[in-house]
Structure 1
């Protein structure tokens, strides 16, 4: 162990000899001596052991070649082959001793998709900044049993005074498709970006929107990402997730110009890229690193929910400990996102240029009782929206009145275009609300009274 250096402060210089003065002059002429940077318990660079080296490959006697085996007698041939085998054995032993996984010695990316998704220096800097807020969330059985689910989460709130953080993640980590908890006493673990793992506490979840909010406590250096102001179809996005070993995984794509009728979740928007494995609940960000939503793995493809919808849910829960969402009883599709040839036909034959197509109507719902059927096109008269996410955000905002006890329903003026019978009619549609975290039962009975216009199995 090298001796500790003492400070020269207050110590008189000792007399120097001629050789010392000459050596000092030579050292000064050679320039400054590099400083040895060390850490506690470490050694200096010069004292590091030499790297392990492979032994030289066995050589043949002079005048012989490996390809000319006729020059070797059987005894010499056997000795040479034995030496080659010993050389290979020693090489494997040394390789095993020196095999330490450090990032600077990897010859291929950990995830090729991530490497292809984040290419430019600007994008890498942006993704690394957002990654400081991205965590891994897993649920396990309370008795120390096996893994139930693993998702990605993102820090959306940090209380530095009380050392508390709020983690937004996918509801699938705590409940099944219907909203039933995997286990009432399940254990939640949150792995931070620095790979520190802590216990999480479930605050609330909503299976309809697919989100869950957790709380963790501890003295962590956590950052809350910046939030975007809105989403647009065709917008370029990055979807971030955490792998099984906390490795950062990223997909790159766009918000697809399409919508699919899926289980009355009109708020879902679809992505053109796959979500990283275990990436459900991870943030979706724009090119500036602003979080515009979180992603989920669902059929028929990867989807995400906008940050505006999420923040409304968070604010409702903060004030009322529940979320009031609208019950339309219909699955809709936007006319704006239809194929252009169908748009032309609607405009030419029915004078329809906007609105929403009814693709499903729930049995015994308000919509069915009012006479709305599959294939109709409805226009919300007093709502300025052309996409399903815009419509959902507006209807969700009406839930504040329900939570405050001001009303149980909200009346909307709706114009219904009946394409089967070629007429349109304006009606009043009373929108109901629910504050249940679970999914309502969806009836899919097929009535036979009006073939071609009623429900079909999903």
Structure 2
């Protein structure tokens, strides 16, 4: 190596940049240099063993010439040529695979660093070594575990007892892949990147259907209060599906729903996709995984436990809460939440029952054909009310309500939309609703399921009105009453506006909050 470095140094000039790299050593090695000596060695290795120089004619035995006839001599030449060609190919294969030989760190004597004419050559040697190390680190077996942080399956001690089985479960949900990445843009402006999963595959047309979040095409979100309905969307945004092999395919939007934050897209897929099954009976404290894909289509995994919670005043009624995972995930917003059997129990902030309603819409689209894609909607009655479930309150509070009102179940009214039919009928904050249309309701998710199960229908139901019989306990009068609430059916996001009195406005102006 010193000799090669000397030759290259004399030809390349010098430079003072290697003083700090003197005496450098490593357990890994340098790439071969392109010096005169190394190239000569490569050319020498290319020649088959025992072969002669191209300028020298082949030496043949006179005895063999006399004993062989013309035909035998020709066959012998062909056999000899074939054997030589095979040996030469084997030698060339050996040389061409030299790039996969072990990498060795350049070992350069300290004396060479003192020669300024050698510094440029030494620098080239180290640069080549670093370049080869970089190429080596791009191998999947080396690169991924150094650039990607470990997931909960490797770091969470609570999963030690089930690590092997849960790894198989997660990987079973990832092939084909069931979990995919999506990105969106409007013009030259990128919107966001999120995850989704396959819910259908049309074998005849070679098209797959992806379910994800409507956040994928959301352009503005000026308020954290979902009930204000101020989010804006771009239905004509460009959406791309990112496959696991780093290929992309443009997707076509089938449908998006603002209230439940859902969107479905159709994309060309030549091979069948893997469809996961659903679990409709997820329990509180059941352990689940949140799956997604990052900007490199690398699988992301979050682990936690399902918990039954009341939504706060800013959140919709249908949220699925998973304790222990990231509250604001970067990529798995829209990805599936699966149980330990690999079945989907929902998606981020979305119970699986609502996904079924979305799937029923898709089935209707498939039956009616592509020419009527805008007919079906996830329509629901807009009650103009926000609720919390009594059964999810702290036990001492449940006891107090039971003692004072003899009620231990139902939905507590948290807010009444200003000017709504509910407000005009006398519904007030603190009242308790026990039944709708004769069916007992104990949680907000049950309420949404009830509303959707009856009112997912065609366009004839949109913007029409429907009567709902409500059994309500007026807390201020301590009286049960049956009220008939006439509400509008809509596929838009329900908006609930909190009214403000004159006194509230004055207080807000004085305090500086108006």
Mark yes or no: TM-score above 0.5: yes
Moved over 6 A (4+): 80-89
- In structure 2, what is the equivalent of residue 116 of structure 1? 155
Are positions 1:94 and 2:106 aligned together?
Answer: no
Aligned 8 A contact 1:402 1:409 in 2 = no
The structure 2 residue matched to 1:415, chosen from 463, 469, 472, is: 472
User: C-alpha separation between the residues in 2 aligned to 1:213 and 1:78?
Assistant: 64
Alpha-carbon spacing, 1:85–1:251, altered in 2? closer, same or farther (3 Å): farther
**Deviation digits for residues 229-262 of structure 1 (CA, Å, limit 9, x no counterpart):** 2333222111111101111101001122322234
Aligned 8 A contact 1:58 1:84 in 2 = no
Aligned 8 A contact 1:264 1:329 in 2 = no
What TM-score comes out, normalization by structure 2 length?
A: 0.67
The structure 1 residue matched to 2:141, chosen from 82, 104, 116, is: 104
Alignment of 1:77-88 (within 5 A): 79=114
**Deviation digits for residues 426-448 of structure 1 (CA, Å, limit 9, x no counterpart):** 222426343334x3443223236
Alignment of 1:16-55 (within 5 A): 47-49=97-99, 50-55=101-106
The structure 1 residue matched to 2:415, chosen from 345, 354, 360, is: 360
The structure 2 residue matched to 1:135, chosen from 165, 180, 185, is: 180
State the 1:391 CA deviation.
1.7
Are positions 1:205 and 2:205 aligned together?
Answer: no
What TM-score comes out, normalization by structure 1 length?
A: 0.74
User: C-alpha separation between the residues in 1 aligned to 2:258 and 2:461?
Assistant: 24
Are positions 1:312 and 2:357 aligned together?
Answer: yes
Are positions 1:442 and 2:496 aligned together?
Answer: yes
Are positions 1:226 and 2:277 aligned together?
Answer: yes
SS at match of 2:215: helix
**Deviation digits for residues 401-447 of structure 1 (CA, Å, limit 9, x no counterpart):** 786659831422312240xx35022222426343334x344322323
Alpha-carbon spacing, 1:124–1:46, altered in 2? closer, same or farther (3 Å): farther
Aligned 8 A contact 2:173 2:179 in 1 = yes
User: C-alpha separation between the residues in 2 aligned to 1:331 and 1:43?
Assistant: 73
User: C-alpha separation between the residues in 2 aligned to 1:162 and 1:414?
Assistant: 50
Aligned 8 A contact 2:470 2:483 in 1 = yes
Number of residues paired by the alignment?
Answer: 384
Aligned 8 A contact 1:235 1:254 in 2 = yes
- In structure 1, what is the equivalent of residue 447 of structure 2? 391
User: C-alpha separation between the residues in 2 aligned to 1:188 and 1:201?
Assistant: 7
Aligned 8 A contact 1:372 1:416 in 2 = no
SS at match of 2:346: strand
- In structure 1, what is the equivalent of residue 17 of structure 2? none
- In structure 1, what is the equivalent of residue 347 of structure 2? 294
State the 1:146 CA deviation.
2.6
SS at match of 1:193: coil
- In structure 1, what is the equivalent of residue 377 of structure 2? 322
- In structure 2, what is the equivalent of residue 158 of structure 1? 201
Aligned 8 A contact 2:380 2:456 in 1 = no
Alpha-carbon spacing, 1:313–1:432, altered in 2? closer, same or farther (3 Å): farther
Are positions 1:125 and 2:168 aligned together?
Answer: yes
**Deviation digits for residues 367-399 of structure 1 (CA, Å, limit 9, x no counterpart):** 211211112222116224422111210121120
- In structure 2, what is the equivalent of residue 7 of structure 1? none
Alpha-carbon spacing, 1:408–1:46, altered in 2? closer, same or farther (3 Å): same
Alpha-carbon spacing, 1:152–1:405, altered in 2? closer, same or farther (3 Å): closer
Q: Quick check: 397-406 or 340-349, which moved more? A: 397-406
Alpha-carbon spacing, 1:197–1:327, altered in 2? closer, same or farther (3 Å): same
Kindly report the root-mean-square deviation, in angstroms, between the aligned alpha carbons of the 2 structures: 3.5
Aligned 8 A contact 1:171 1:207 in 2 = yes
User: C-alpha separation between the residues in 2 aligned to 1:235 and 1:448?
Assistant: 48
- In structure 2, what is the equivalent of residue 284 of structure 1? 337
Aligned 8 A contact 2:201 2:272 in 1 = no
Q: Quick check: 103-112 or 200-209, which moved more? A: 103-112
SS at match of 2:263: strand
Aligned 8 A contact 2:461 2:489 in 1 = no
SS at match of 1:413: strand
**Deviation digits for residues 336-376 of structure 1 (CA, Å, limit 9, x no counterpart):** 11112211221222222111111111101122112111122
Alpha-carbon spacing, 1:362–1:48, altered in 2? closer, same or farther (3 Å): same
SS at match of 1:343: helix
Segments of structure 2 that go 5 or more residues without pairing to the other structure are 1-45, 47-91, 222-228, 365-374, 505-512
State the 1:88 CA deviation.
8.1
**Deviation digits for residues 116-159 of structure 1 (CA, Å, limit 9, x no counterpart):** 367612111111121221111111123xx131121111110011
User: C-alpha separation between the residues in 2 aligned to 1:150 and 1:199?
Assistant: 14
SS at match of 1:188: strand
User: C-alpha separation between the residues in 1 aligned to 2:118 and 2:400?
Assistant: 82
Alpha-carbon spacing, 1:197–1:78, altered in 2? closer, same or farther (3 Å): closer
User: C-alpha separation between the residues in 1 aligned to 2:106 and 2:474?
Assistant: 84
Alpha-carbon spacing, 1:77–1:43, altered in 2? closer, same or farther (3 Å): closer
